[in-house]
Structure 1
Amino acid sequence: MKQFWCLWVGGEQIPTLFYRLYAQQEYNADYIKRKNNMNPVIYRVRRRAFCTSISAAALALASGAVSAEPVNLELSYTCPFPLIGNQQVITNISSEMPATVESGAPTGAFAIDVVSTVPENAKIGLGLAGAVSIEGTASSDVVVELPSVDRFITVQLDIPSTVIPSGGGAFNVPASGVQEPLVFGETDEGSGVVRVEGLTLNMITRTFSGEIASDPVGEFTSVCTLDPGQDNALHTFGIIPPPDPYDPADIHLSTDNVDFGTVQAGLSEEMTIVITNDGQSPLSIDRLSLDGSSAFEMSTDCSVLAPGESCTVFITYYPSDDGIQTAVLTVASNDPDSAVLDIAIAGRSLLSGPEIVVPDEVDFGVVEIGTSVTRKIAVSNDGIESLSISEIWVTGGDAGAFVSSHMCSVVAPGATCFVSAMFAPHSDGHFSSALNIAYDRAENPAVVSLQGSGIVTDPPFIAFDVQGASTIAASGRTMALSGSIEPRLDLATGIFGGDLRIDNSQLRVPVSRLFRSVEATAKVEFEQTRESSGMLANGVLTLKASMHIKVPKVTVAFFGFPVMIGGGEACRTIDPVTISMQSPEGESFSPLRGGIITGEYYLPPLENCGALTSLLNKTMAGYGNTIQLGLTPIL
């Protein structure tokens, strides 16, 4: 029999299998992962059981091991995430691996359990799209350095749905997978080293409703890079020649249960069970017996199987009565570890009429108040006659939160129709009702439990600090700009809009026509005429702003005191200034990092500026003015 240890490695799965002959007892391996100040997490691994938890991989060294020893390794990867760019993901690896393995002996299939720590910034980025859970798959490259030729392995993992916790701080994501058997040959005998290499994550995030979150967060692939300067050797082990003891027969069954489902009385169905000898000695099938309902019959030619051979047991179901029928097939053999095995057999006999099949419960999950979620509920007919549906309605104390609609009328045998059920919560809390389906030949309707919860959520909000400058082409002078923008960003469409507020500034203007070699200081104010609007797509932000530029005061210094020589409260551009800006080539804009936008604009003539109106227009109005703004998020 086989003993399994689960090994977890930076961002991907690689299990280890410890193969022992004549093992009669379960092996329980408890090991503790500790990282920084996190609480210890206990993992338990049992024979014929797989581990569960994220992204890592390592090779399992397994066959003919003399002893196992603890191995520990921490690796860091740089993984690109949507919206926020590269982030560091820390993965801790802990396992018990054999110090030596025997050449020529297959390791058997084995599993791996991994937990990786995702940084807080990644959680913020996912939250911008309303993501509350994450799932997907991962693959990792592992190299086994051998005396002959290095072995390259890609390990696949499934990442189960994991809730993204609220609040600050990093969070852990689990994954699990199974690695196919490995065999080391005579030329590999000596010393081997397991090294963990690259990692690829294929991730899906979902919102409260269970739907995939909006792009670019909803579905993305992250090709992670192992950070340099790390020792990625997980384990060094020895490969030794195998001993020469007797290797017994090893029975393997293709299934441990047979379910015929529903079969009409008077017909028959046949299913098969394959018996294989995975050992190195002949397997003797000493007894095959079928106990239980007489509706099942068995036939086979199984007797003695050479190593690697298989035979087939045929089970035939002849339903007669109405209802569920069961039996047990017992297989006795000379496998010292599995001398007697039982296989459960079941079927359901149906004499006549329709048979309605509906789910027991439909859970709409957590839904934001003011929104709704719709589910399709399948109504199937597993009977042998048509199913006539007379009425479908919702009952229960919370029936007002659920609405159903359908086109179901007559459902043919083996067919399915669908009821559309919508959940629209009107307050916080849990809601529960029942969907009733009345059909012919039934005293009571079929009932589907409807469950859901309402929640109030605030949309993500980010304000940006604005710093920059604008150069006036007519005079070649530059004025500093500062301010803020509080945008509304729709991640699904990329629409970007909000109030762009530019603080008052100053511009030096020459007034040599009036005063030789004298420069004046113009106070410049910006009056927004409409909300700024734009688009964020593929890391490029475009933004259009409209405003009047006002010059309420122009002063010169006489003996250290400012003296007003022009301007006024009514001094402003004749028409609003329209400024179109976008991210320059080679620059990228992110809601969490901000970025730079630049543009060129036309400044219309000014009016109502007193005696300096003409002079100000010569030094300020015209084409070719440039602007650059840096937007930094205020988190």
Structure 2
Amino acid sequence: MKLRNPNTSVRTLGTAIAAAALMTGGGNAFAEPVSLELEFTCPFPLIGEQPIRAQISADVPSQATVGQPTPEFTVDALTTVNEDSRLGLKLVGSATIEGTATNETIVVTPSREIDLTVPLTIPQSPIPDETGEFTVPAQGTSPAITFTEDDVGEAVISIGGLTLDMIARVENGDIAPAPIGEFTSECVQNAGQDNILQTVQVVPDEQFEPRIAVSPENIDFGNVQAGTTAEEVVTISNTGQAELGINNISLGGADAAAFTQTNSCTTVAAGESCDVNVTYIPDGEGDQSATLSIESGDAENPVVDVPLTGNSVLAPVPEISVTPADVSFGSVMLGETATAQITIANEGTASLTINAIEIAGTNSSDFTQTNDCTTVAQDGSCTVEISFMPSAAGGRSATLNIASDDPEMPDVTVALSGQGNDGSNDVLEVLLDLEGQTDINASGSSLPLSGSIATQLELATGMFEADLALDPTQGQFKIPLLFKSLTANAKVTFEQADITTGTLINGNLTANSSLYVEVPKVTVRLFGLKIPVGGGKDCRTADPVNIELASVEGTNFSLSEGGDVTGNYTLPPLQNCGPLTDVLNQFLAGPDNGIDLTLTPNL
């Protein structure tokens, strides 16, 4: 981010105020106002180094007492981001910004250096589409500190550098493309400045008292299987200057019976600690909670409660998943063999045992299978290889039967089918020209399409195979995540991934085409310049596009006259398109893309 307003960007250094304000509060001298102005230089992506002026103000005491912990202090900050930075973020499609702003604050006493660096959390904040600066809130809490006898004397609070750790996200929550998506800016304090915020006089405490500290402050056991146990340790420490008596440790709350505790805590000497062992014994299914209560001789904090939570889950079970649900081999010549694969996956929480895999049905002898499936681990899979060698002409069918120890679906059946071809079918070869367009749903734009399809049609069955060749094309796409007037120009090419198959029966045509969509070049015109934003020789869809086409309802398609076809498809995400691949996918990839073509015989 680029921060130029010195009166607002100074608040990003609110951690320094937190460090100073640590000295305010109970048992210490009254605070007095102090103020310090500092200048920093911060490097930012795209826009380079920028100056920041910080006016640090706080109520800081001039005196603190040994043995008395200073209170925690919550810091609220508000940073103003200027238009240049908003523009840079929006250029890569950023919708929100979040992160932390950390200032290095050091307290130097006669005996040691105390690091009071505190990160300010910047919550996920929207980046507006409107031109102009906008504000980002931030909040953090500084830790307590206790001075010892060795610290008596002057404690000097000085301010060091500033670090910004930022994350920009696009509309769907993914991290925006580099270099804006995630970046760290190490800001350097300009030399020759007085960076001392305050000098505090640390004085001895004539009355020593015990002080209790408990860690962790809460325990979440997470998911634990019913019938087993989980253990955690709570540590009780004495940060005071006198012996701490532990009067009682008990469990209470709605599900106290699901937890137990053991301990040997009676008295804790100054600077020492003892442990409480907490055990979670889940029962049934669902969330469970209780409270560990610790009573002690700390007059200021006599009872400390530690919330306990856990989730009881039942025993793990396997869950079978088989894809595809059916296999069609199409037309296969007698004496030849076609193959296909079926995947068996385990989506459960325990290992899946495959008890049997066999082929049955009317023409089971025309199909064979081999597999490597015995035991399938959680989230694992195995493969069944199916071969089809028709023994006669015409339709052939069977089923693949899979038996496993899935308690809900022990038996799964996959339908197998194919067409035996004895060579008696006449084949008609036809070349069709195509013209039309495809509509890209993600951006509300369209691409013109042209090319040809070379078809081999079996007259007896109406089944055909074809080679689809689409010409290179280009189109313009609006990018609503950036500026209303910003338009991307994309060059698009196509690569056939598999043979097009289908049927032409009684004037009704159906076809399935599989191809890769390639985007070798994408540019935008910004500030009068044509700027490349992605593409390349390896930029294409991660998976083939599967397009189902059918003749327009109510029309008759013939090879002699052609006809109109229509379809709908999902465009998979692009990959290998450069640092702005995610931006390109915002206006190209996605479902519900329409395609309309007119096929004409090339006579």
TM-score range, shorter chain: 0.3 to 0.5
What is the TM-score with the length of structure 2 in the denominator? 0.48
> TM-score if structure 1 supplies the norm length?
0.46
